[in-house]
Amino acid sequence: MEAESTLEATTLAVDWGSTNRRVFVLAADGTVLETAQDDRGILAMDGSGFAAEAASMRGRWGDLPMLCAGMVGSNRGWVDAGYVSAPASLAAIAAAVHWVEPGHTAIVPGVSRDGNGRADIMRGEEVQLLGAAAAGLVAADSWLCQPGTHAKWARLKGGDLVDFTTAMTGEIFAQLGRSGLLADGLDGTVQDGADFRAGVQAARGGDLLARLFGARASLVLGKRDRTDQASYVSGLLIGSDCAARLDSDFADARADGVDVLASPALGNLYLAALDELGCAARLVDSHAAFLAGITQIWSLLK
């Protein structure tokens, strides 16, 4: 909904992901005048029509400069905006912004890491992760988790993104629910509770693939109600994700705690899993983090 304000819109900030797109109409001081979300992510674009979509947004909100972040800058989006190598800062990202229309439309690059036998990439999440530190929502030295289709676990030092790991947690759950042996039973509501936490505890023992089949066996043998199956399997996957991090590159986070950037619905599941695994965690507003990051990048471009 449009906020009552005498401020004038000066910029469109677009979080343009794979399945969804969120537009923030900003005033010069970063105040959000209006927001809108739709399902016009890049998967709905089929590789074309991005310029027309940008024109449509300007037709609604005015002929304003536009700064986009997310999968719109991938090799399946409007243009491939490339990557900045970690360690990465907001200043480095701003310096590498790709101008689709000089001075008018720009796309934020992603961040990559490649070393010690492991390659990884992110696109869009870097704005939130670095924005959270820039706005003081998290400490300059912190451990962060950003749940989602591809969950990101990141380490910030001095406000810079120094390393990260991606886990396909959400995608695997979605794929299991679409087809295969476990699809029958994964249509229920996932919620924190005894079954979710039982899944988290089961994940501590490793052997995720066998435990996933065991979830099916428990259902067939009547040891778990069908309505509880989705929570248990989600607990297995999220628990496996969290346990793997805490047992390796996030080991020090057990003492320091983890900041979880997410909506309450998903973020609270990760908070529950981390709590079950003995790690303190707190929820951080991911939209506030994105706005802080994108406005900081835009200010560096002026």
Query: What's the Cα-to-Cα distance from 16 to each of 5, 69, 71, 229, rounded to whole Å?
Result: 26, 6, 6, 33
Please check whether residue 124 lies inside any domain of the structure. yes
**Interval 167-193: pLDDT, tens:** 999 999 999 999 889 998 899 899 999
Check residue 300 and report its DSSP letter.
H
* Count of Cβ atoms closer than 10 Å to residue 103 Cβ: 8
Same domain assignment for residues 74 and 114: yes
Domain residues for the domain of 198 are 167-284
Q: At residue 302, does pLDDT exceed 80?
A: no
Please check whether residue 147 lies inside any domain of the structure. no
Alpha helix locations (H) across the chain?
A: 42-45, 50-61, 90-95, 125-134, 169-178, 194-203, 208-220, 226-246, 253-256, 264-276, 286-301
Q: What's the average model confidence in pLDDT over 294-300? A: 94
**Interval 230-243: pLDDT, tens:** 999 999 999 999 99
Radius of gyration of the chain measured on its C-alpha atoms? 20
Same domain assignment for residues 251 and 297: no
Q: At residue 259, does pLDDT exceed 60?
A: yes
Please check whether residue 203 lies inside any domain of the structure. yes
3-class DSSP assignment, residue 55: helix
Same domain assignment for residues 47 and 102: yes
Is the whole model's pTM more than 0.75, yes or no? yes
| Per-residue pLDDT at 27 | 93
Q: At residue 252, does pLDDT exceed 50?
A: yes
- Cα separation, 209 vs 23, in Å, equals 39
Q: At residue 291, does pLDDT exceed 90?
A: yes
Local confidence band at 1 (pLDDT 50, 70, 90 cut-offs): very low
Dig out the tokens for 23 from the structure. 């537009």
**Interval 39-81: pLDDT, tens:** 999 989 888 899 999 999 999 999 999 999 999 999 999 999 9
Please check whether residue 143 lies inside any domain of the structure. no
The pLDDT > 90 percentage for the chain reads 85
Q: Choose the weakest-confidence range: 4-8, 139-143, 232-236.
A: 4-8
Same domain assignment for residues 39 and 123: yes
3-class DSSP assignment, residue 142: strand
Count of structural domains, the chain: 2
CATH number at residue 46: 3.30.420.300
CATH number at residue 205: 3.30.420.310
Please check whether residue 108 lies inside any domain of the structure. yes
Same domain assignment for residues 16 and 51: yes
Same domain assignment for residues 242 and 261: yes
Please check whether residue 153 lies inside any domain of the structure. no
Same domain assignment for residues 261 and 291: no
3-class DSSP assignment, residue 115: strand
Q: What's the average model confidence in pLDDT over 123-133? A: 96
3-class DSSP assignment, residue 125: helix
Q: What's the average model confidence in pLDDT over 22-37? A: 93
Q: At residue 228, does pLDDT exceed 60?
A: yes
Residues 6 or more apart in contact with residue 97 via CB below 8 angstroms: 67, 81, 106, 107, 108, 109, 297, 301
Local confidence band at 4 (pLDDT 50, 70, 90 cut-offs): low
In DSSP terms, 210 is beta-bridged to none
DSSP string covering 7-41: PPEEEEEEEE-SS-EEEEEEETTS-EEEEEEES--
